[in-house]
Amino acid sequence: MPVRIEKIRTICTAPEGINLLVVKVETNQPGLYGLGCATFAYRHLAVKLVVEEYLGPLLRGRDAESIEELWQLMHQNAYWRNGPIVNNAISGVDMALWDIKGKLARMPLYQLFGGKCRPAVPVYRHADGRDVQELCENILRFQEMGIQTIRCQCGGYGGESFGSFPAGVPSGAHRGVYLDSGAYIRNTVKLFEELRNRLGYEIRLVHDVHERIAPSEAVRLARLLEPMDLFFLEDPISAEQTEWLRELRRQSSVPIAEGELFTHPHEWRSLIAEHLIDFIRVHISQIGGITPARKLQIFAEQYGVRTAWHGPGDMSPPAHAANIHIDLAAMNFGVQEWSGIEPPNYVIQELKGPHGALLEVFSGLPEYRDGCVYVNEKPGLGVDIDESKAAKYPCETNVVTWTQTRKKDGSLQTP
């Protein structure tokens, strides 16, 4: 009997205070359903509406195994396409359909992609600190956990706290997170010089610019950081100005990871084909789920570009699992960002509190051990959700403040 979609619904939950949106696709087969991630933490109600009011009616009664057909149908049905709200909605359904496909095959998802290229997935973590001493202490703690690649920041992304007004800001300016790009560049170069002096060159270091400086400043920063032997410099150029990557590549050999904000294939196609980036690091729900992410991974492989998928806290466990399954089967895997979803015995209390609430809501999460993440070998994505527990942690709809970043003259700057 064909497997038909009977119902598509959303589960909104925030067990760690971050809005998560999980899509559940139920079928006409008793007990057969799939879970996917549609998390757009700052616009979750808009995504929820698209899933339940548009995609649900569109797909009800259709063949749940026709993933490519259904992805194209969802992508084209609204006529306008490749926006973050619609893409995240599509992603939730797409991941759930892959989850169902794996359950029908009685295989973990990576097997449907051709099987493992590696037994586990090496990950990188984020270390921060109020000063270089605290940062080094946190880096050493991660090293003790087996982490070999660490992203380093000191005091966030080079801005003041929200609502503060540093010297020189004009009167009447709006509240925000105020940035000083010149000071940020100077401090970052000094920081990495000191890290290399203290830690040596064996450990792989990463830094995230987060698009918060002008393109010409990003070129200068890359040149200054070149002696520090970074594993990669993350998102130095904003998604709207990626033509500057040609100039950055011309002037510096620092490896570049780009794409956290990408939503459309045209944003990455030429960057990969022209060898302007070394790592592609899209947020896979932002581009529409597993189906387009696999196509992107295979395309990047042809040009020697490696993957470093976005893996932050504002992703639900089904999305983290999807990252890991794709990584396991990808020849061009680079490294996987990992937000610290680990069993309590692996948690370093000073760096991140226990994930008790998350582990209460979700089961079957990929497991961290000694610098790598392992899937649990269950069919599909291997992750499940307890909806009664999820209801204990409702989402919030507060105004987002951390994205309200500004230059010292009071004008807005991309966050």
Q: Are residues 172 and 213 in the same domain?
A: yes
- Please, are residues 304 and 281 in contact by the beta-carbon 8 Å criterion? no
Residue 120 to residue 115: CA distance in whole angstroms: 12
Q: Are residues 45 and 99 in the same domain?
A: yes
Q: Are residues 143 and 276 in the same domain?
A: yes
Q: Are residues 347 and 359 in the same domain?
A: yes
DSSP per-residue letters across 206-236? EEE-TT-S-HHHHHHHHHHHGGG--SEEE--
Q: Are residues 89 and 231 in the same domain?
A: no
- Please, are residues 368 and 96 in contact by the beta-carbon 8 Å criterion? no
Residue 248 to residue 348: CA distance in whole angstroms: 37
Q: Is 368 a catalytic residue?
A: no
Options 33, 110, 124, 157, the catalytic residue: 157
Q: Average pLDDT in the 266-282 region?
A: 97
Whether residue 401 is contained in a domain is answered as no
Which one has a higher pLDDT value, 123 or 415? Answer: 123
pLDDT digits (tens, 9 = 90+) for 236-260: 999 999 999 999 999 999 999 999 9
Task: Residue 383: name the closest of 318, 310, 333, 300 by CA.
Answer: 318
pLDDT digits (tens, 9 = 90+) for 300-348: 999 999 999 999 999 999 999 999 999 999 999 999 999 866 544 333 3
Q: Is 157 a catalytic residue?
A: yes
Q: Are residues 245 and 351 in the same domain?
A: yes
Residue 8 to residue 280: CA distance in whole angstroms: 31
Which one has a higher pLDDT value, 350 or 263? Answer: 263
Whether residue 252 is contained in a domain is answered as yes
pLDDT above 90: residue 14 = yes
Options 44, 207, 210, 320, the catalytic residue: 210
Copy the structure tokens of residue 173: 């300016």
> Whose structure tokens read 């290229």?
117
Q: Are residues 94 and 178 in the same domain?
A: no
pLDDT digits (tens, 9 = 90+) for 336-357: 999 866 544 333 333 344 568 8
Q: Are residues 37 and 176 in the same domain?
A: no
DSSP per-residue letters across 74-93? HHHHTSS---HHHHHHHHHH
Whether residue 385 is contained in a domain is answered as no
Residue 341 to residue 260: CA distance in whole angstroms: 20
Residue 205 to residue 194: CA distance in whole angstroms: 12
- Show which of 92, 108, 124 is a domain's final residue: 108
* Domain interval for residue 70: 5-108
Whether residue 390 is contained in a domain is answered as no
Instruction: Indicate the residue type of 336.
Output: Q
H or E element: which one contains 48?
helix 44-49
In this prediction the pTM is: 0.95
| pLDDT for 342 | 56
Q: Are residues 66 and 155 in the same domain?
A: no
pLDDT digits (tens, 9 = 90+) for 117-140: 999 999 999 999 999 999 999 999
- Please, are residues 225 and 255 in contact by the beta-carbon 8 Å criterion? no
Whether residue 406 is contained in a domain is answered as no
Q: Are residues 32 and 61 in the same domain?
A: yes
Copy the structure tokens of residue 68: 């490519």
- The answer for residues whose C-beta is within 8 angstroms of residue 5's C-beta and 6 or more apart is 25, 26, 27, 59, 60, 61, 62, 63, 64
pLDDT above 90: residue 168 = no
- The answer for residues whose C-beta is within 8 angstroms of residue 127's C-beta and 6 or more apart is 135, 138, 139, 142, 150, 151, 152, 153, 351
Whether residue 402 is contained in a domain is answered as no
Q: Could you tell me how many residues make up the chain?
A: 415
Whether residue 211 is contained in a domain is answered as yes
pLDDT above 80: residue 364 = yes
CATH number at residue 24: 3.30.390.10
Instruction: Indicate the residue type of 357.
Output: A
Our count of domains for the chain comes to 2
Task: Residue 254: name the closest of 282, 225, 214 by CA.
Answer: 225
Residue 238 to residue 56: CA distance in whole angstroms: 34
